[in-house]
Structure 1
Amino acid sequence: MKSAWDEWTAEAKVDKIFAGVTASKYDQGYVDADDLVSGFLRDAENSPKFGGLMVWYVYTDHESGYSARIKELNPTIQTAPSGVEVE
């Protein structure tokens, strides 16, 4: 059975697709980190077209610990430095 990610990306004429998620529970489209890992990432990570996640915004992510929670739940996910320091 194809995952929703595979169906959605099947026709894309690109090598990699990055999924954008918001780190703020107050933003439209917010998905809890636990739900993201157990649902979407479980399917998408195994796809050759999955490039990774983009998390908005770095300040909100820093304050909420959103990407840290994703990494805690899925230690094998690759992370890249944002190049931004938040104090």
Structure 2
Amino acid sequence: MLGTVSIALEAQNRGSLPAFPGRYLHAALFSILSHIDADEATWWHDMEGIKPLRVQLSFKESRQDNSIRRGDILYLHVSVWHSELWG
């Protein structure tokens, strides 16, 4: 089963993202999950092999670079391929 959750984020500061922000997105997702259920977040994080999920970031207004301005709206998209993640 494929499902996607999109979380709207508003930038509180300006900054920039690396060209390949995957590690940061992965860390952000598991930080969010650990606030909801620390044991489950740890179990999914420590899972061996390829994780049954994909994390992607998009800007509300398209950009030519990875700069972020205060007040920008970004969307964190989490797609999962494992029904247990949906409960």
With a CA cutoff of 8 Å and minimum separation of 6, indicate the structure with the bigger relative contact order.
2
Q: Please report the TM-score for the alignment, with normalisation by the length of structure 1.
A: 0.26
Calculate the TM-score normalised by the size of structure 2: 0.26
Name the structure with the higher strand share: 2
Larger Rg computed on CA atoms: 2
